[in-house]
């Protein structure tokens, strides 16, 4: 079986970065492939299974959503081929900022302003978004986040479930990539202790303060009882990547400690778990 990923989506949403990451993961990457060549380049050869990542979007020569969908149908009809359509989404305001920062021109902007071009492209791309096998919203994703998500889905031959445990601040919004979200604002808040306020959930003093909450032990026990039985079920259903998110007010104390603790007990039980602290990485926790 050959792995063929067709990467499309909104201009500026990260198609080039996505292709580079897939190339690092062992794919042969081709960008701006004319749609009429998709079926031809996807054909298997005698060298064995191939891993292809193909970038196609509104700037590609001969692009039309219905033509791309027809070409994907043709590829699927070939023995041993099962292409995946990956759609990269992004909020308009973020796309405007990205085009402004890079001084790149939107591919449809020659006929209208950027805002109108984005609206026109959304209408154009809607059939592909609706048909996508995987949809990734890059509005709030850093490049390491995108790499982590793609590695979880396409990285190794080992298809075990990869788990990311994320801490975040509710004041900055829910993480779009989260599968399971736990609100830990009910726990005692170290922010109101002068000596603990400048510290984070990575510090032992903060951890001890949170552990002393009378409801902490019960919550952790119920959390493990809820999450652990779900993981093999997710894996058996073919899910390769799972994000568990813990949120508190500032994303600095309680959520950070719970994310660290959860990653630790997941690893002790044999799961592949990593930890990401969104607000600590951004420096926006105050």
Residue numbering of the annotated binding site for ATP:
9-16
Strands in the chain per DSSP E: 3-9, 28-31, 51-55, 84-89, 134-137, 162-169, 180-183, 241-248, 272-277
- Give CA torsion, residues 153, 282, 173, 271, to 10 deg: 40
Return the DSSP state at 27.
Answer: P
**Beta strands 3-9 and 84-89: pairing type?**
parallel
CA dist 270 to 28, 161, 262, 266, 275, Å? 32, 11, 13, 7, 15
Q: Which residues are annotated as a binding site?
A: 9-16, 57-60
User: Is the separation of the CB atoms in 88 and 7 below 8 Å?
Assistant: yes
Q: Which residues are annotated as a binding site for GTP?
A: 57-60
Q: Compute the distance between CA of residue 141 and CA of residue 152 in angstroms, rounded to an integer.
A: 15
How many of the other CB atoms lie within 10 Å of CB of 271? 19
Q: Compute the distance between CA of residue 212 and CA of residue 188 in angstroms, rounded to an integer.
A: 9
């Amino acid at each position: 079986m050959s792995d063929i990923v067709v990467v499309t989506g909104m201009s500026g949403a990260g198609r080039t970065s996505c292709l580079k990451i897939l190339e690092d993961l062992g794919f042969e990457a081709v960008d701006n492939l004319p749609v009429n060549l998709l079926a031809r380049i996807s054909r298997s050869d005698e060298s064995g299974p191939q891993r292809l990542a193909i970038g196609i979007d509104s700037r590609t020569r001969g692009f039309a959503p219905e033509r791309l969908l027809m070409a994907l149908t043709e590829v699927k009809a070939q023995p041993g081929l099962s292409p995946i359509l990956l759609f990269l989404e992004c909020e308009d305001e973020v796309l405007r900022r990205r085009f402004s920062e890079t001084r790149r021109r939107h591919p449809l902007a020659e006929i209208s302003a950027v805002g109108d071009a984005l609206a026109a492209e959304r209408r154009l791309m809607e059939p592909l978004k609706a048909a996508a096998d995987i949809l990734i919203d890059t509005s709030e994703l850093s490049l390491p986040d995108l790499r982590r998500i793609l590695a979880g889905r396409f990285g190794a031959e080992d298809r075990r479930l990869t788990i990311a445990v994320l801490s975040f601040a509710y004041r900055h919004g829910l993480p779009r990539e989260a599968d399971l979200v736990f609100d830990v604002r009910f726990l005692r808040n170290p922010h109101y202790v002068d000596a603990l306020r400048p510290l984070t959930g990575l510090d032992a003093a903060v951890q001890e303060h949170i552990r002393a909450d009378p409801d902490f032990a019960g919550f952790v026990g119920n959390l493990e009882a809820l999450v652990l039985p779900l993981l093999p079920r997710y894996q058996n259903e073919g899910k390769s990547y799972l994000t568990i998110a813990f949120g508190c007010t500032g994303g600095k104390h309680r959520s950070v400690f719970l994310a660290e603790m959860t990653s630790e007990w997941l690893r002790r039980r044999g799961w592949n778990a990593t930890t990401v602290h969104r607000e600590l990485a951004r420096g926006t926790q105050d």
